[in-house]
Amino acid sequence: MKNPSSLYVHVPFCEQICHYCDFNKFFLKNQPVADYIEACGSEMRMSESVAPIETVYIGGGTPTALEDEQLERLLELIHKHFTIKPSAEFTVEVNPGSASKETFTMMKRYGVNRLSIGAQTFDTGLLKAINRDHGEGDVEASIQLARHAGITDISVDMMFGLPGQTMEQWQQSLIKLVSLPISHVSAYSLKIEPKTVFYQMWNRGALKLPNQDMEAEMYDWLYEYLHENDFQAYEISNFAKPGYESLHNQAYWNNDGYVGIGAGAHGYVNGVRHRNHGPLPKYLKAIEAGEMPWIESHQVPVNEQMEEEMFMGLRKRIGVNGHRFEKRYGLTVEDAFPGTVSKLQERGLLQKEENHYRLTRQGLLLGNEVFEAFLLP
């Protein structure tokens, strides 16, 4: 595996915790933010990649919950410890209404050229139900500020299958979405994850969710409506105008290596996957001791790499490149997974064209079944 050319940096601080979120995050107030940023710098020094970095993604949490000086320091450290290619895709996650024009101008100065804005919905009642701390107008305001600062490649995150959400609410949110000057959309159905407020509500029967048929209808409407408005589905949950597909996310889906920095971050370097300590005290203590802050690491066996190649690659509309698979593993897809391809083709879930394996439209709706079929004994 080549040296990783993608970098992920995790900022685990939020000013408000969303009811659905299971990412590693902490309330911002009274946290050792400055110490954390310097600790990330120390981890970067220990993780320096010899390959020029082609994609950077700063996620969270809420990176823009940091003060401008703190975020600027983090950007300085990234440039200090990694060689960022001038052409690199450089993304920062933004909470609507949490960044000023000065913030965006500073980001632009450090090479940030893409934003991922977490809208989730444009319905005021639903925003309150999921405990978001922005109003529906904050998304457009943030986009305009960013564009004035020169950052024009903008992605917006949306969610469907929210508690009490109707088809009309979903459609109205998407109509509002495509009216904005954006280039990319990530849209996900709500998943009830342990250790979230929604999980507690679901356990006691206090969470009313759309049924699976309604979720499927919402996805179908999303797919067709975005297609009509020049957003092409290049992955199950991701849609882009031509030329604006996320390069960073494609590194994950191509099963390529990446450097992961920060509390709770994951990395995949030279065939070794690792996961960092999530709790801040444990992360900071490891860094203070001059150690990598890994809670676990393991060399990924070849059979696991092949499984992941299929799981991740089939998420893309272009699918899995059979030539690339054979070059990596010395086996064809059919040899690695005997009988699996033909069975999925018979069920109408998988198609093969010019040695590319991809999900059919029906396969998109039953993706998990397809992925499970590629689990090796």
Ranges in the chain annotated CATH 1.10.10.920: 302-373
In sequence order, which residues have a C-beta less than 8 Å from that of residue 107 and are 6 or more positions away? 71, 75, 92, 149, 151
- Determine the pLDDT at residue 25: 86
Domain at 302-373: CATH code: 1.10.10.920
Ranges in the chain annotated CATH 3.20.20.70: 6-253
Token pair for 211? 């049924």
Would the pTM of this model clear 0.85, i.e. be above it? Answer: yes
- Determine the pLDDT at residue 23: 83
- Determine the pLDDT at residue 2: 61
Token pair for 328? 């990596």
pLDDT tens-digit series, residues 285-327: 999 999 999 999 999 999 999 999 999 999 999 999 999 999 9
- Rounded mean pLDDT for each run of 10 residues along the chain, 377 residues in total: 86 90 86 98 89 95 96 98 97 96 98 97 95 91 98 98 96 98 97 89 90 93 97 96 97 95 96 96 98 96 96 95 96 97 97 94 89 93
C-alpha–C-alpha distance, residues 337 and 307, integer Å: 9
Q: Which CATH class is domain 6-253?
A: alpha beta
- Determine the pLDDT at residue 141: 97
Q: Alpha carbon of 208 to those of 23, 168, 229, 353: distances in Å?
A: 23, 17, 31, 42
Burial 257-272 (b: 16+ CB within 10 A, else e): bbbbbbbbbebbbeee
What is the spatial order of strands in the sheet that 84-94 belongs to? Answer: 232-235, 238-240, 184-189, 153-160, 114-120, 84-94, 53-60, 6-11, 259-261
- Determine the pLDDT at residue 127: 95
Token pair for 311? 């799981």
- Determine the pLDDT at residue 361: 87
Burial 188-227 (b: 16+ CB within 10 A, else e): bbbebeeebebeeeeeeeebebbeeebbeebbeebbebbe
C-alpha–C-alpha distance, residues 370 and 363, integer Å: 7
